[in-house]
Amino acid sequence: MNARPPAAEEDRGLGPASTLIRNGRLVTASEDFVADLLVRGGTVAAIGDSLDGQADRVIDATGRYVLPGCVDPHTHMDSPQAGTVSCDDFTSGTVSAAFGGTTTIVDFCFQQPGQTLREGLATWHEKLGRAKPVVDVGFHIAVTDLGYGGALDELGRLPAEHGVSSYKLFMAYKGSLMIDDGTLFETLRVAARSGALVLVHAENGEAIEVLVSEALAAGHTEPRWHELTRPPLTEAEATSRAIHLARIAGAPLYVVHVSCREALEPVVRAREAGWRVWGETCTQYLFVDRSALHAPGFEGAKYVFTPPARGPEDRESLWRALDGGSLSVLSSDHCPFRFADQKALGRDDFSRIPNGAPGVENRLPMLHHFGVREGRISLSRMVELLSAAPARLFGLAPRKGTLSVGADADLVIFDPERPLTISSETHHSNVDYSLFEGTEVLGAPETVLVRGEPVVQEGELVASPGHGRFVERARFGEPLAVRSALG
Ligand code: URP
Ligand code: ZN
Ligand code: ZN
| Ligand 2 centroid, distance to 22 Cα (angstroms) | 41
pLDDT computed for residue 172 by the predictor: 98
Q: Does the residue 191 lie in any domain?
A: yes
pLDDT computed for residue 7 by the predictor: 33
Q: What is the rounded distance in angstroms from the CA atom of residue 317 to the CA atom of residue 267? A: 13
Q: Name the residue range of residue 300's domain.
A: 69-393
Q: Does the residue 369 lie in any domain?
A: yes
CA 11, 17, 21: angle at the middle one, nearest 5?
95
For residues 240-267, average pLDDT: 98
* Whether the predicted pLDDT of 14 surpasses 90: no
Site residues for ligand 1, CB cut-off 6 Å: 76, 201, 305-306, 333, 335, 355-356
- Closest residue by CA, ligand 1 atom 8: 306
- Closest residue by CA, ligand 1 atom 3: 306
- Give the pTM: 0.96
Evaluate whether 21 touches 36 at the Cβ level (below 8 Å): yes
Q: Does the residue 52 lie in any domain?
A: no
Residue 256 Cα: closest atom of ligand 1: 9
- Closest residue by CA, ligand 1 atom 4: 356
Evaluate whether 395 touches 480 at the Cβ level (below 8 Å): yes
Q: Does the residue 60 lie in any domain?
A: no
Phi, psi of 179 (to 5 degrees): -110, 165
| Ligand 2 centroid, distance to 179 Cα (angstroms) | 13
pLDDT computed for residue 1 by the predictor: 33
Q: What is the rounded distance in angstroms from the CA atom of residue 33 to the CA atom of residue 205? A: 48
* Whether the predicted pLDDT of 354 surpasses 80: yes
Q: What is the rounded distance in angstroms from the CA atom of residue 238 to the CA atom of residue 401? A: 30
Q: Does the residue 178 lie in any domain?
A: yes
- Closest residue by CA, ligand 1 atom 9: 333
* Whether the predicted pLDDT of 20 surpasses 80: yes
- Closest residue by CA, ligand 1 atom 7: 306
Lowest mean pLDDT among 15-19, 234-238, 352-356: 15-19
Residue 355 Cα: closest atom of ligand 1: 1
| Ligand 2 centroid, distance to 201 Cα (angstroms) | 5
Using only C-alpha atoms, the chain has a radius of gyration, in whole angstroms, of 22
pLDDT computed for residue 153 by the predictor: 93
* Ligand 1 pocket mutation pick from 177, 257, 342 by most atoms within 8 angstroms of CB: 257
Q: What is the rounded distance in angstroms from the CA atom of residue 313 to the CA atom of residue 9? A: 59
Q: Cβ atoms within 10 A of the Cβ of 426, count?
A: 12
Question: How much is the mean pLDDT over the chain?
Answer: 95
Using CA of residue 454, residue 445, residue 355, residue 271, what is the dihedral sign?
A: positive
* Ligand 1 pocket mutation pick from 106, 168, 306 by most atoms within 8 angstroms of CB: 306
* Whether the predicted pLDDT of 56 surpasses 90: yes
- Closest residue by CA, ligand 1 atom 5: 356
| Ligand 2 centroid, distance to 438 Cα (angstroms) | 26
| Ligand 1 centroid, distance to 474 Cα (angstroms) | 25
* Whether the predicted pLDDT of 484 surpasses 60: no
Q: Does the residue 334 lie in any domain?
A: yes
| Continuous H helices in 300-378 | 312-324, 363-366
CATH assignment of the domain containing 375? 3.20.20.140
pLDDT computed for residue 16 by the predictor: 54
Residue 76 Cα: closest atom of ligand 1: 5
| Ligand 2 centroid, distance to 282 Cα (angstroms) | 11
Q: Does the residue 436 lie in any domain?
A: no
**DSSP assigned state of 178:** B
Q: Report residue 179's pLDDT band, with 50, 70 and 90 as the boundaries.
A: very high
80-81/84-85 β-pairing: antiparallel
Residue 170 Cα: closest atom of ligand 1: 8
| Continuous H helices in 179-325 | 181-194, 205-217, 224-228, 232-249, 261-272, 283-287, 312-324
* Residue-wise pLDDT tens digits, 262-283: 999 999 999 999 999 999 999 9
pLDDT computed for residue 470 by the predictor: 98
* Whether the predicted pLDDT of 4 surpasses 70: no
* Whether the predicted pLDDT of 10 surpasses 80: no
| Ligand 2 centroid, distance to 257 Cα (angstroms) | 7
* Whether the predicted pLDDT of 15 surpasses 60: no
* Residue-wise pLDDT tens digits, 87-126: 999 999 999 999 999 999 999 999 998 999 999 999 999 9
Q: Does the residue 244 lie in any domain?
A: yes
* Residue-wise pLDDT tens digits, 379-438: 999 999 999 999 999 999 999 999 999 999 999 999 999 999 999 999 999 999 999 999
The structural domain count of the chain equals 1
Q: Which ligand is nearest to the CA of 74?
A: 3
Q: Helix, strand or coil for residue 28?
A: coil
| Ligand 3 centroid, distance to 476 Cα (angstroms) | 20
